Amino acid sequence: MDPLSHTLDLASVAHRTRQLESWLVDTLAAFRNRHERRLAYIPHLVRGMTMAEFGDKYDGDVQAALRGLQKERVAIDVAPIDRNAMKRKWAPPPEEESETRTGDGKNSNNDQARAAKNRVWSSMSLGSTI
């Protein structure tokens, strides 16, 4: 074989190697994307369990595992609830009650808050910044 044909053979082999490597990278990326997408469809509750438990208890059925885990969570969370502790009613401190009952107008903080809430802005003050 002459040196020219040997060089052409090496160049074609190098080109074919680059083609195969490129094809391999693309195929692996597609494989990874496809399986990451399929894993994303599995609910987070099911993803948290071990493969042994998933296979033994639920025979690899995602829906059965999800139902089972939700039933377990409901069974654990059920506890007697004190209804009086759930609702808190606001009661003013004793000194505020005496001021509001007298009606002498010493509660200036309340008046300022009410005034700020009902304040009307003039169009001149808003238009000057634009």
Query: pLDDT tens digits for the chain (130 residues)?
Result: 566 566 668 888 889 999 999 999 999 999 999 999 998 988 888 888 999 999 999 998 999 999 999 888 877 755 666 666 666 666 666 675 555 555 555 555 554 545 555 555 555 555 545 4
Domain membership flag for residue 126? no
| Predicted pLDDT of residue 72 | 86
CA dist., res. 41 & res. 67, Å (int): 16
| Predicted pLDDT of residue 75 | 75
| Predicted pLDDT of residue 11 | 84
Domain holding 30, by residue range, is 1-41
Q: Which of 48, 51, 55, 52 is nearest to 72 (CA)?
A: 48
Beta-carbon neighbour count of residue 65 at 10 Å? Answer: 22
Number of domains in the chain: 2
| Predicted pLDDT of residue 15 | 92
Q: How many helices (H) and strands (E) does the chain have?
A: 8, 0
Q: How far is CA 60 from CA 64, 69, 116, in A?
A: 8, 14, 62
Q: What is the percentage of the chain residues whose pLDDT exceeds 90?
A: 28
Domain membership flag for residue 98? no
**Shared domain check, 53 and 31:** no
**Shared domain check, 49 and 35:** no
**Shared domain check, 7 and 37:** yes
Give this prediction's pTM: 0.41
CA dist., res. 90 & res. 84, Å (int): 14
